[in-house]
């Protein structure tokens, strides 16, 4: 379909030449594509109808046809650092990784000239658009869900190109110097507050224990004297020995 009269004549002559030189010509008309490859055949510049050829053997006319092999295996594209502005007006630099697969070889070959450049620019613009509605804290805490949103948005566009986006991941986030300083100061303040809370809880627990010990000792005077003697014994075990002249317990 779509061929002119001259193109039809050339095609018929090519078929007649292949038939006349059979079986020698068959070795020049058969090509092999691997399991993970597909071949797109053009006849006199026209894309032949039907699905892509492969895997296995496929037929083409050496004089009129040209073919291109497309690799269908999963590919990885590293997106370099680019600037984004979050909802709370924080300027960041992020990089990402995109995993994609060539799904429709015929559509892809007749639609795009540079696959990597198109996907890279699409990832960058999509990331900027989505992060403009997210706060800086959400980017740090919800990176997985944001990556999934980017993947869905990319897949809606690349499906028209014959590309299936399998996964996207935000790799690194670089913060400006002033943002790093403010985060470090906030983290240090939180650590100091936590230390004060722990120390206060320890003081509270110690005071409760001392109060209970004082109540027990006040109920038994002999226990107070035994505790006093035990403290004296602990002090005399030191080197050099310490001499203690205790006051009478009644006077104390």
Q: Are residues 55 and 126 in the same domain?
A: no
33 and 103 co-located in one domain: no
H or E stretch covering 56: strand 56-59
> In this structure, are 79 and 125 located in the same domain?
yes
pLDDT value of position 196 = 85
Q: Does residue 151 share a domain with residue 83?
A: yes
Residues 24 and 54 in one domain: yes
> Residue 226 domain-assigned?
no
30 and 99 co-located in one domain: no
Final residue in a domain of this structure, among 146, 179, 212: 179
How long a stretch of residues is the chain? 252
pLDDT band at 99 (very low <50, low <70, confident <90, very high): very high
Look up the domain containing 136 and give its range.
74-179
pLDDT tens-place string over residues 138-151:
888 888 888 888 89
Share of the chain above pLDDT 70, in %: 83
Q: Residues 193-248: pLDDT tens digits?
A: 888 888 888 888 888 887 787 777 677 666 666 666 666 667 666 666 555 555 55
- Residue 31 Ramachandran class (φ > 0 left, ψ -120 to 50 alpha, else beta): beta
Tell me, yes or no, whether 100 and 162 share the same domain. yes
* CATH code for position 125: 3.30.479.30
Copy the structure tokens of residue 75: 């590919």
Q: Do residues 51 and 69 make contact, with C-beta atoms less than 8 angstroms apart?
A: no
In a domain, 213, yes or no: no
Whether residue 59 lies inside any domain: the answer is: yes
CA 43 to chain centre: 43
Same domain (yes/no): 118, 129: yes
Would you say residue 236 lies in a domain? no
Q: Is the peptide bond before 108 cis (omega within 30 degrees of 0)?
A: no
Find tokens 């006319």 and name the residue: 61
Domain boundary among 161, 179, 197: 179
Task: Tell whether 36 and 121 lie within a shared domain.
Answer: no
150: in domain = yes
Cα(58)–Cα(30) distance, rounded to whole angstroms?
Answer: 6
pLDDT reading at 60 higher than 60: yes
Average per-residue pLDDT in the chain? 80
94 DSSP assignment:
E
Task: Output the CA–CA distances (angstroms, integers) from residue 231 to 176, 224, 238, 241, 245, in the order listed.
Answer: 59, 11, 12, 13, 13
- Whether 52 contacts 31, CB under 8 Å: no
What ranges in the chain are assigned the alpha helix state H? 5-20, 26-29, 105-109, 115-131, 136-141, 143-158, 177-219, 221-236
- Two tokens, residue 18: 């292949």
Domain count, the chain: 2
Q: Could you tell me if 98 and 55 lie in one domain?
A: no
pTM (2 decimals)?
0.63
Tell me if 35 is assigned to some domain. Answer: yes
From 77-81, 111-115, 224-228, the region with the lowest mean pLDDT = 224-228
Let me know if residue 92 belongs to a domain. Answer: yes
CA-based nearest residue to 118, from 98, 140, 144: 98
Domain boundary pick from 124, 148, 179:
179
Residues 84, 163, single domain; the answer is: yes
pLDDT tens per residue across span 147-183: 888 899 998 888 888 899 998 888 888 877 666 676 6
- Residue 218 domain-assigned? no
Return d(Cα 225, Cα 17) in angstroms, integer. 123
Please indicate, yes or no, whether residues 89 and 172 belong to a single structural domain of this protein. yes
């Amino acid at each position: 379909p779509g061929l002119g009269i001259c193109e039809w004549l050339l095609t018929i002559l090519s078929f007649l030449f292949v038939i006349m030189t059979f079986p020698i010509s068959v070795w020049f008309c058969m090509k092999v594509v691997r399991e993970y490859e597909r071949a797109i055949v053009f006849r006199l510049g026209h894309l032949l109808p039907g699905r892509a050829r492969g895997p296995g053997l496929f037929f083409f006319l050496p004089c009129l046809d040209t073919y291109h092999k497309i690799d269908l295996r999963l590919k990885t594209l590293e997106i370099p650092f680019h600037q984004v502005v979050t909802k709370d007006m924080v300027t960041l630099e992020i990089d990402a990784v995109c995993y994609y697969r060539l799904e429709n070889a015929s559509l892809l070959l007749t639609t795009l000239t540079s696959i990597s450049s198109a996907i890279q620019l699409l990832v960058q613009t999509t990331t900027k658009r989505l992060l403009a509605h997210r706060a800086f804290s959400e980017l740090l805490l919800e990176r997985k869900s944001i990556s999934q949103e980017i993947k869905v948005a990319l897949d809606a566009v690349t499906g028209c190109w014959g590309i299936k986006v399998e996964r996207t991941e935000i790799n690194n986030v670089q913060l400006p110097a002033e943002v790093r300083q403010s985060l470090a100061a906030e983290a240090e303040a939180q650590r100091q507050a936590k230390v004060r809370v722990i120390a206060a809880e320890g003081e509270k627990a110690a005071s409760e224990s001392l109060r209970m010990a004082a109540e027990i000792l006040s109920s038994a005077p002999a226990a107070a004297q035994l505790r006093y003697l035990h403290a004296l014994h602990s002090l005399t075990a030191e080197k050099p020995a310490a001499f203690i002249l205790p006051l009478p317990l009644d006077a104390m």
